[in-house]
Each structure stands twice: as C-alpha cells, then as structure tokens.
Structure 1
Amino acid sequence: MQRAVIDSNRTSPFPSPPTNETPALCFSINSPPFNYTPTIASAYFSAVFSGLGLSSNLFALVVLLKAFQRTRSRSRSSFLVFLCGLVFTDFMGLLVTGSIVVSFHITHFNWRLLDPHCHFCNFFGMSMVFYGLCPLLLGTAMAVERFMGINKPFSRSGNMSKARACYMVALVWLFAGCVGLLPLVGLGSYHLQIPGSWCFLNIGPAPRDLGFGLVFSLVGLLSLAASFLLNTVSVVTLVRVCCRQDGAQRRRDYEVEMMVQLIFIMLIASVCWCPLLVFIAETVLRGEPLRVRYLLLWLRFATWNQILDPWVYILFRRSVLKRIYPRMDWSRGSILTLYTSVRKLTRASLGGGGLTPGAEAGGAETPAAES
C-alpha cells in the first residue's frame, strides 16, 4: 500500500519455503520472499503518511463530537452523524492497514512464513475493500440526506432523525462488509500484491476474479455518480431559493456550510478513487496483464482520500468561513425567511396550493434550533 523499492540484484534475508509445497491461494501469483533493497525511506514514508492521516482524523473527530453536543438542529445533527461515521471509518482504515504496512517496512517479514494459510492476507484484502467502499457509500448516504433535507424540508420523509442516520451508517458498514466477504465465499480472491507489503483483490481475467473486480469498481463508481447527481440537484435548488430572497436575507448559513462540505467530500473522493476504479474495470474487461506500476500509483491516489476527508470539515466550518469571509452576512435572521421560501418552492414544484401565513410560520424551525 505504501512505497517500497525492489532491486533484483539484492536477495531477501528470509529463507524460501520448501519448493515442493503448493503455495496457498493468496501466494499463487506473487509468492514471497521478494528481492528487496531495505531502506529507511520506505518505513519513514509509511509512518509519516499513516501518522498524518491518523492525527488529522482524530482531530476532526474531536471537533465533530463537540459540535454534535452543541447543535440542536435535527438536520444538522443527522449530517454530523454521517460525518462522524466517515471520519471514524477513515481513522480505522488507516489504523488497520497502516499499522500492517509500517510493520512490514520495518521488519520485512515473510508472508508465507507468518501466514501460511492466508488468513492474515485475506483480512488485509477485506480491510482494503471495506475501508475503500465505506467513504464512497457514506458520501452517497450524505447526499441522499441533504437532497431530502433541501428539496423536502417539511415532509416527514425529509426530516432524518439521529437514530435513523445511525442506522444508515450501520447499513453502509454492513453492505461494504458483505462486499468484502465475497472472495471468502468463492467470488474472486485476495492475493499478495507487489512489492509484498499489502494484499488486495486479484485483478485478472478469470471469471470469478473478473466478477468481483467489476462488483468493486461498479459499486464505487455508481456511488460517486449518485452523489454527483443528488448534490447537483441540491445545489441548484439551494441557489434558486437564495436568488429569490433579498440580498441581505438570501443565505442560510448551516445549509450552505453542509452543502459546501459535502461538495468537497465528493470532489476529493472522485479525484482519489476514480482512477483506481476505472483502472480495475478496464484491466479485467480487456483481459490485459496487470500493470503494477499504475496499480500502485492509483492506489496511492486513493489513500489520500482518508487524509483529506477530515480537513474538509476542519477547514470549511462556519467559524473558519466567518474569519475568511467576514463581510458575508452570517446572521441567523435569514433562516426563517429561507425556510419559508424552500417550502413555497417545494409545494410549487409538487403542484400544491399556496400556504397560509400561519402554516408557513408553524412549519419552519425557529432560529434558536440552528444554534
């Protein structure tokens, strides 16, 4: 998963297993020990990379928990639940995979001697799939929540409670876990990958490997496509609502904040994951030999997603945005007006009639609820 240097002129310090033994499935393509040039740089890079990601996610998680305790807005609370789930997932992904990779670069252990039955390799590969798909699926779940909250703010289905948000996060984890378990029930397989520091799904033309490669790629790509579509509709709706208001009352601060954070999360996920997902789908469909150089390159792109995600919330909070744009109207007096406009727009799009003043005032949240 991290960088390692391979030198064909250097030999491994580990003895090779007996040649008359049939290697386990995860070692059938790339069988250790490999030839390495042990360097301090590889271990240092892996440790710094993992440490940066872990500290960023831990800091963001602390800030999120404090914000969650202070907020009384239902929509903001559910959005913070999704953000906490995303940051926690990224933290655990870096902790699990990073600790194994750093240990390998420090000790250069032989996988066949340490894990002759592939249990450890299968766990690593399943972790890669699980912690890879979870951020993409959680991004889609957040896009669904914001789509319902912006386009149907007063409908019963548009108001997502904290408990319902927790159930959706758990459902995402369950679905990603089921996808990660597919190779253990016969669809695809996990293999040790060059340069020997990580395990991942086997990217090959065999029917089962092809099927699992397509499942992994399509789930990720469809998640990104759904996020893009839902976020686009949400942004257009929000802009239309804002443009109908007076210039001093056209912003609803928390709606803008959540939408900006979600857009950046989607963009980061797309830039980091699309190259790897497209590469896997293209390789298995064309039946071409695996180009290890590109696999490692796009994998490093994907791992940056776990580091950049927490900084979206750290940098794009209201407190930070107010310091960057002090002239922007961040007052809370516009909240009721914007809610009323959203309701009118939603009812108009559904073909409903006009609202009485009492109904408008009764359906909107009070400004105090957004604090």
Structure 2
Amino acid sequence: MNSEDDPCHSKHHIDSTKSPLISAIMFAAGIFGNVAALLILEIRRRRDIRAGDTCRRSLFHVLITSLVVTDLAGTCLISPLVQLSYSRNMTLVGMSSESHSVCSYFGVSMTFFSLATMSLLFSMALERCFAIGYPYLYSRHVTMKCAYIAIPVVFLLCMLFCLLPFAGFGTYVQYCPGTWCFIDMNPEGNEDRVYANLYATLMLVLVLAIVACNGFVVYQLFKMFQRRRRNGGSVMATTRSSGDRKAMSIAEEVEHLILLVFMTIIFIICTLPLVIRVYLNTIKKGKESHRMDLIALRFISVNSIIDPWVFILLSPSVLHFFWGSICQPPLGIFRGSTYKSSIAKENSLANVEVYRSTFECTEQFHSVETL
C-alpha cells in the first residue's frame, strides 16, 4: 500500500497519549540480559582454559557467542531510535521526511537482525547435528575455521537480502504509532509482494530446518542412551579435536540440547506471527490491520530480549545449581561432574580388573607352593 494512501506510513508526529515506558523496559532488559549472557560465556571460557579444556566446546561456544553479540548489537542499534522518536515526538519518517533514511535504516536493521539470529541458531543446530550424528565426518571436516568463515558469510548474505529494496525489489514502510519501520507486509506492487513472501518463506524454512536438526539430535541421543542401558555402563560419545579423542557424556550433550531446544521454541513463537501476517496479507488483499502487524513486529523484536535470558537460565552452570538444590542425592546425569563420575567408574572397573588379576596370580603362586 502506498504511503499517501495510508496515514500510518506517512505521519510525522507521534500521538501524545503513547507512552515510551514499554519500549524503555524492553531496551533495558535487552541490554542487561545480553551483557549478562556474555559475562557467563567469558567466565566459562576462562574456566575451561584453567582446566586445560580449550577445544571441547570451542565451536559451539563461538556460535552461541556470535548469537548473543548479534542480539546485543540489534538492541543497541534499533531501540535507541525508538526512544529518540518518543523524546522528540516525531516519527521515524518525520525525522527524515525528505529521504526517509531513518525509516529505511530501521527497516534494514530489523530485517537483518531477524534473519541473522535465525541463521545463527540454524548454524548451532546444524553443528550439533553433525557432532552427534556424524562424528567421523565432523572430526575430519568441521573445524574452528569453518565457524570463522560461516559467520561472516551469513552476515553478508543477510545484508544483501536486506539491501534488495534499494534496488527496487521490495520496500520499507512505517508502522503505527510511527516508531517502527519494516518490510511492507501488504504491498501493491508484485515485486514488493514477492519480496515480503520471500522473507516469510526464508524464516519458515529456517524454522523447519532447525526443528529437523534438533529432532535428529534427540533421536541420536536416545539411541546412545539405549546403548548405554544395554551395555550396563556409560556410553561415551567421543569428541573430535585434531585426532585427540576426549570423553563427553550424554548428559553434557543433553544440557546443550535443552538450551538449543528452548531457544528454538522462543524463535518459533516470536517468528511465526510475522510469517503468518505476511501470508495472510498475500491471500487477503484488502485494508491493512496495523494493530495485528504491530503485534507481529513486537513479537519478533522481543526475541532478542528473551533469547539471552533463556541462555542465562538454561546454561549448564545454572542447571547444575538447580538440580543440586532440588535433588540432594548426587545425580551425576545432571551435574557437571558427570564426566568425572564416568571416569571414576572406568577407574573403579580398572581397579577391579587389577585386583582380579592379582588374586589370580596369588592363587597360582599358592598352587605352585603346594606342588
């Protein structure tokens, strides 16, 4: 829909009854949550270095750090514009009425960070998928260099997609109350409509791919657990780091899977409303529902706020504390000492074998003396 046909697309002043309180709370929660998540990641990294365990989780650590940094950058680059708009009582279009540069910047940023965060989550799910399902292939071909190449490529592709409206394929418009700009979800032009549908389809494909990867990991972990029960011991999945094999328990994989699954659920909840709105606007070509569009935009913006809090609450250290407080008996499957307990079991079995061998030798010695 053209700007001149819709007052929300072209208005220059914000309604005085609108309060910036909700936006300010969202901004503060996003900053605090992402900074706290980065601190937790840094503490864990230093702890692993002190423990001499620098390779085991490095790739997953890089990906999740990139995700948190992306969420923090999105919050810092987008939310201040909303507060500035409220403080000046001017819409994003009103702050640059001739060029619409502020609105375009806001729209590009919203589109870029929504695509980038979803793509990084897919990278994390794919990394876990290969690590658990195809350990040999993972050890031979998946390295830290892959992450350092994949992350910039993801950002570059997302940015190229976001810049397509400046080439005439798609458009960014303002939404009520004038503090949001995003892809026009109900455009008149065929190119603009195709662009909106392409964005929604990309998001939907990423969601389905992430769900498929997580489902595959759950299936592989279930098979590992079944083998463990059949063997009567702890089945250890071997991790891969340049030929050096280290033991990793199923519980450790489950901890990271829990984090990944909850992040995926949050992404789905925050993304699907926008995808549904785009498809509905394509099917029902009529007057725009700015209230529903605004709800969908708020859902996708809330994602970068909730995401770090999910990481904080479901990080392995917090899970260890939670299970240690609830379950007084030492539940090795939920504690960080699972690896140590597994090693202890192996050592105890080794001690039994040594004792058995010693006992057999003693028996043979006594038999010789008797003869």
Could you tell me which of 48, 60, 68 is aligned with 1:79?
60
Q: Return closer, same or farther for 1:52/1:97 CA change in 2, 3 Å cut-off.
A: same
Distance of 1:146 and 1:28 partners within structure 2: 49
Q: Return closer, same or farther for 1:216/1:334 CA change in 2, 3 Å cut-off.
A: farther
Query: Does the CA contact (< 8 Å) of 2:92 and 2:180 recur in 1?
Result: no
Tell me what 1:221 maps to.
Answer: 204
Distance of 1:257 and 1:111 partners within structure 2: 43
Structure with greater helix share of residues: 2
Does 62-71 or 171-180 show the bigger shift? 62-71
2:203 is the counterpart of 1:236: no
Query: Does the CA contact (< 8 Å) of 1:27 and 1:191 recur in 2?
Result: no
Tell me what 1:167 maps to.
Answer: 149
How do 1:188-227 and structure 2 match up within 5 A? Answer: 188-203=170-185, 204-227=187-210
How do 1:118-129 and structure 2 match up within 5 A? Answer: 118-129=100-111
Query: Does the CA contact (< 8 Å) of 1:192 and 1:200 recur in 2?
Result: yes
The one-letter amino acid paired with 1:58 is V
The one-letter amino acid paired with 2:199 is F
Distance of 2:56 and 2:119 partners within structure 1: 19
2:339 is the counterpart of 1:332: yes
SS at match of 1:245: helix
TM-score by length of 2: 0.78
Distance of 1:302 and 1:152 partners within structure 2: 33
Distance of 2:253 and 2:35 partners within structure 1: 25
Query: Does the CA contact (< 8 Å) of 1:75 and 1:149 recur in 2?
Result: no
Identity of aligned residues (%): 27
How do 1:33-44 and structure 2 match up within 5 A? Answer: 33-34=12-13, 36-39=15-18, 42-44=19-21
Distance of 1:152 and 1:336 partners within structure 2: 24
Distance of 1:302 and 1:270 partners within structure 2: 10
Could you tell me which of 159, 162, 169 is aligned with 1:177?
159
How do 1:134-153 and structure 2 match up within 5 A? Answer: 134-153=116-135
TM-score by length of 1: 0.78
Q: Return closer, same or farther for 1:171/1:26 CA change in 2, 3 Å cut-off.
A: farther
SS at match of 1:37: coil
Query: Does the CA contact (< 8 Å) of 1:210 and 1:285 recur in 2?
Result: no
Unaligned runs of 5+ in 1: 1-24, 338-371
Could you tell me which of 5, 10, 13 is aligned with 1:31?
10
Q: Return closer, same or farther for 1:111/1:248 CA change in 2, 3 Å cut-off.
A: same
The one-letter amino acid paired with 1:328 is L
Deviation at 1:130, TM superposition (A): 0.3
Tell me what 2:259 maps to.
Answer: 261
Q: Return closer, same or farther for 1:26/1:163 CA change in 2, 3 Å cut-off.
A: farther
2:49 is the counterpart of 1:49: no
Unaligned runs of 5+ in 2: 236-248, 325-329, 345-371
Tell me what 1:364 maps to.
Answer: none
SS at match of 1:325: helix
2:110 is the counterpart of 1:103: no
May I ask how many residue pairs the two structures share in their alignment? 311
Please, what is the CA RMSD of the aligned residues?
A: 2.3
2:234 is the counterpart of 1:249: yes
Deviation at 1:217, TM superposition (A): 0.3
Deviation at 1:162, TM superposition (A): 2.4
Deviation at 1:63, TM superposition (A): 1.3
Q: Return closer, same or farther for 1:257/1:117 CA change in 2, 3 Å cut-off.
A: same
Tell me what 2:244 maps to.
Answer: none
Distance of 2:4 and 2:66 partners within structure 1: 34
Deviation at 1:278, TM superposition (A): 1.6
The one-letter amino acid paired with 2:85 is F
Q: Return closer, same or farther for 1:178/1:336 CA change in 2, 3 Å cut-off.
A: farther
Distance of 2:322 and 2:140 partners within structure 1: 32
Query: Does the CA contact (< 8 Å) of 1:253 and 1:318 recur in 2?
Result: no
Distance of 1:151 and 1:334 partners within structure 2: 24
Does 60-69 or 144-153 show the bigger shift? 60-69
Deviation at 1:200, TM superposition (A): 1.0
The one-letter amino acid paired with 2:339 is R
Deviation at 1:161, TM superposition (A): 2.3
Does 50-59 or 293-302 show the bigger shift? 293-302
Distance of 1:164 and 1:323 partners within structure 2: 33
Moved over 6 A (4+): 25-28, 334-337
Distance of 1:175 and 1:26 partners within structure 2: 29
Does 74-83 or 219-228 show the bigger shift? 74-83
